[in-house]
Amino acid sequence: MSYSSLETVRVTVECPLAIVTIAREAQRNALSSKVIAELTQVAGELEISDDVRVVAVTGAGDKAFVAGADIAEMAELTPLQAQAFAEMGGNLGQAIEGSRLPWIAAVNGFALGGGCELALCCDFIYAADTAKLGQPEVKLGVIPGFGGTQRLARRVGVAKAKELCMTGDMVDAATALRIGLVDQVVPKAELMATVAATAGRIAANGPLAVAEVKRLIHQGQSTSLEASIALEQRSFGLLFATADQREGMAAFLSKPPRAAGFKGR
C-alpha cells in the first residue's frame, strides 16, 4: 500500500504498528481541510491492511502534536462552510472511533483545539512530559467543532469539561494525567518507544477479540447496561466460531504452553 501521494501526512508501517504523522511543522501541524481529508483517507486504507494491528498518530517536529485547526483557512468561512468543515472533522473522528484497530495519540507537544479533539477520538492518549492540551476555541469566539465538548466530558467529567471549554485554559501533561485527559505521561524521548511497546502487547492478542472489545466499550457508552451486556454475550459466543479462538485456547492448553499465532480469522 503506497502513501506517496499524500501531501500533509506521512505513514510509516513498522508492523504491527502504523505511525501516522501530520507533517505541517511550519504551521504547527494545524488541521486544514486537506489534512483532515488525508487523515480520513489513511484511516480507511489502514482499516483493510492485513499487517497493521495498531495505529499511532503524532505530529512532525518537537513542538506540536496539532496546535489546532487551521485558523487561516477558517477565518472567512460562511456559517454553512463552517458547519461543513466541522462535519469533515466529525467524519474523521468517527473513522477513528469506528475503526477495528486501536489508535494511540502520541502527543509530542501542543494539542490544542482540533488537536485535542483528534487525540480524544483515539483509544489511548500518551503524552510527552512537555505536552500541553486544551480547548481554547472560546478565545476565538467559537466552540470546539470536532466533537470536543462531547468527548472531553466523557473523558474528564462534565464539570471539568465545562471549565476547560469555557475558560480556554491549557493544562500541562501532569495535570492532564491527573484529570484523566491523558492515559500516560513519559519523557519526550521515550514517547514513541512507549507507544510501540503498548502496540506490541496489543498485537500479541487476538485481533478479532481486540476489535470487539473496542466496539463494545464504545457502543456501551450510549446504550443501557442491560443491552450492552447482551451485546457482549452475543459477541463472546460468536468469537467461538473463529480460528483465533481455537488457536488461542490450543496454545494455552499445549504442554508447555506456547505463544498463539493469531491470524485475525
What are the sequence ranges of the domains in the chain? 9-203, 207-253
Q: Class of the 9-203 domain?
A: alpha beta
Give the sheet arrangement for strand 170-172, strand by strand: 64-66, 110-112, 132-134, 170-172
C-alpha cell at 229: 451486556
pLDDT at residue 3 in the model = 77
The yes-or-no answer on residue 117 being catalytic is yes
Catalytic residue from among 137, 163, 212, 232: 137
Catalytic residue from among 97, 117, 212, 247: 117
| Residue closest to 126 by CA, chosen among 112, 114, 147, 111 | 111
| Residue closest to 182 by CA, chosen among 48, 22, 65 | 65
What is the arithmetic mean of pLDDT over 4-13?
92
Per-residue pLDDT tens for 112-170?
Answer: 999 999 999 999 999 999 999 999 999 999 999 999 999 999 999 999 999 999 999 99
What is the arithmetic mean of pLDDT over 172-194?
98
pLDDT at residue 5 in the model = 87
**Is the model's pLDDT at 193 over the cut of 90?**
yes
**Is the model's pLDDT at 1 over the cut of 80?**
no
Equal fold, 9-203 vs 207-253: no
CB atoms near residue 213 (< 10 Å): 17
CATH numeric code, 207-253 = 1.10.12.10
Beta bridge partners of 185: 127
Beta bridge partners of 54: 17
**Is the model's pLDDT at 99 over the cut of 80?**
yes
pLDDT at residue 2 in the model = 66
**Is the model's pLDDT at 110 over the cut of 80?**
yes
The yes-or-no answer on residue 76 being catalytic is no
Residue 236 CA to residue 11 CA, distance in Å, equals 34
